[in-house]
Amino acid sequence: MKRFTLAAGALAVYAATGLASAYAAGPDIKIALIAGKTGILETYAKETETGFMMGLEYLTGGKMEINGRKIKVIVKDDQSKPDLARTLLAEAYGDDKADIAVGTSNSGAALAMLPVAAEYKKILVVEPAVADSITGDKWNRYIFRTARSSMQESISAATTFKNGSIGFLAQDYAFGKDTVKAFKEALGVVGSKAKVVAEEYASPATTDFTAPAQRLFDKLKDAPQPRVLSIVWAGPHPMNKIAEMHPERYGISIAPNGNILPVLKTWKNYAGTEGTIFYYYDFPKNKMNDWFVAEHRKRFKSPPDMFSAGGFAAASAVVTALTKSGGDTNTEKLIKTMEGMDFETPKGKMNFRAQDHQAMQSMYHFRIKKAQKDEWDLLELVREIPASELPVPVKNKK
């Protein structure tokens, strides 16, 4: 009888302690991850999800919890459709009771989500959409962006142009138009004497680039040297098709934006071609990136890609903010924590600029390698362009 009583007492104490611990830890932290997992940006979305989950794993030591609160990730596919993205974010905040949301792949879809974050007064970490208006005139105080902006990409690219003539082939939606607009402004920011003399916009579904490319050639061929055709494209990339039209006969070289590894692999015949990129697995040298590259190779037989790194960066922003807040998911406390916050990523340190919540970050000037040791040994680093050399103007209405 005594034994039973002691056991029961011990059990009661254990149960009370366990309940107290569970109560102290609080409910699960719910994070909604919205991405265009079907459609033209499917690869980008899948990479973002992979990087986000690996980032949470690394940053929580595999526990997937912060201050004893378990992390629950709710993944939703917006198919890169603005109306669906808006609906899914409202569902995440309302029905799923998500504390924070992350997304999305398409700039048009991301822009549709911004007012929803303001309506529900919940934080939205934008990754990987790049349109400048996201942290510009369409911004609200609940928006933080770990993704690079069009202006960050444009200023980094503009630093590689000293003079000459530039033509653009870009996609006919927010991403392409914002990037070209930003690049024109960026030339002035860096003091370049180069001029944009031609622009062509095509549907993201375009497969035949003969007509727009020829129009660009015609406008560039008599312009001052050096003559460069810059390609701004998400999804299946047209560089090879443009190169097959031999722009060099007009004294025109191609300058592509960085792209995902499967696309970069198709550029092997253009060794020496230069461009800029926001992440290539072999460029950053830090402990976090070392783990990311090694673990990604182990699991997927390939190094991490650009959007995988972006997903990891978004995870770092979320974990850093929640850790600093002591696991408190109160929106106002998180905003106060995140404004001006430094956080580590596979690229190195980023900082959320207080004025518009844009993550300030380094970029990279690359050259396609001539001697490639294996299928992933594709680029060599010309120069890391630090955030301090990317004076991105503040364009919101805070």
Q: Which of 138-147, 250-259, 363-372 has the highest mean pLDDT?
A: 138-147
Could you tell me if residue 215 is inside a domain?
A: yes
> Would you say residue 14 has pLDDT above 60?
no
Q: Over the range 260-280, which residues count as b (16 or more CB within 10 Å of their CB) and which as e?
A: bbebbeebeeeeebbbbbbbb
Closest CA to 282 of 269, 271, 292, 267: 292
Same domain, 239 and 378: yes
> Would you say residue 245 has pLDDT above 60?
yes
- Which of 150 and 112 is assigned the larger pLDDT? 112
In this predicted model, what pLDDT tens digit does every residue of 174-191 receive, in sequence order? Answer: 888 888 998 999 999 999
Q: How many domains does the chain have?
A: 2
Could you tell me if residue 235 is inside a domain?
A: yes
Q: Which residues contact 146 (CB under 8 A, 6 or more apart)?
A: 125, 126, 127, 310, 313, 314, 316, 317, 345, 350, 359
Q: What is the pLDDT of residue 5?
A: 35
Same domain, 269 and 295: no
Same domain, 177 and 269: yes
Q: What is the pLDDT of residue 251?
A: 95
Q: What is the pLDDT of residue 8?
A: 42
pTM score, whole prediction: 0.87
Could you tell me if residue 318 is inside a domain?
A: yes
In this predicted model, what pLDDT tens digit does every residue of 29-58 receive, in sequence order? Answer: 999 999 999 988 999 999 999 999 999 999
Cα distance between residue 163 and residue 158, in whole Å? 10
List the CATH number of the domain containing 254.
3.40.50.2300
Same domain, 257 and 164: yes
Could you tell me if residue 131 is inside a domain?
A: yes
Q: What is the pLDDT of residue 176?
A: 87
Could you tell me if residue 255 is inside a domain?
A: yes
Same domain, 66 and 210: no
Range of the domain at 59: 25-148+284-361
> Would you say residue 12 has pLDDT above 80?
no
Conformation bin of residue 114: beta by default, left when phi > 0, alpha when psi is -120 to 50:
alpha
Q: What is the pLDDT of residue 17?
A: 42
Q: What is the pLDDT of residue 44?
A: 94
Could you tell me if residue 352 is inside a domain?
A: yes
Same domain, 263 and 191: yes
> Would you say residue 10 has pLDDT above 80?
no
What number is the average pLDDT over the span 116-138? Answer: 96
Q: What is the pLDDT of residue 20?
A: 42
Same domain, 303 and 334: yes
Could you tell me if residue 6 is inside a domain?
A: no
Same domain, 246 and 372: yes
Same domain, 253 and 381: yes
What number is the average pLDDT over the span 61-69? Answer: 96
Could you tell me if residue 69 is inside a domain?
A: yes
Give the Å distances, CA to CA, from 52 to 75, 128, 171, 326: 11, 11, 27, 21
Same domain, 107 and 213: no
Cα distance between residue 345 and residue 309, in whole Å? 8
What number is the average pLDDT over the span 152-165? Answer: 92
In this predicted model, what pLDDT tens digit does every residue of 336-389 receive, in sequence order? Answer: 999 999 999 999 999 999 999 999 999 999 999 998 889 999 999 999 999 999
Give me the chain's average pLDDT, please. 91
Q: Which residues contact 260 (CB under 8 A, 6 or more apart)?
A: 43, 44, 47, 305, 306, 307
Same domain, 257 and 204: yes
Cα distance between residue 376 and residue 352, in whole Å? 32
Same domain, 339 and 384: no
Count Cβ atoms below 10 Å from residue 120 Cβ, excluding itself: 18
> Which residues lie across from 164 on neighbouring strands?
none
In this predicted model, what pLDDT tens digit does every residue of 282-336 receive, in sequence order? Answer: 999 999 999 999 999 999 999 999 999 999 999 999 999 999 999 999 999 999 9
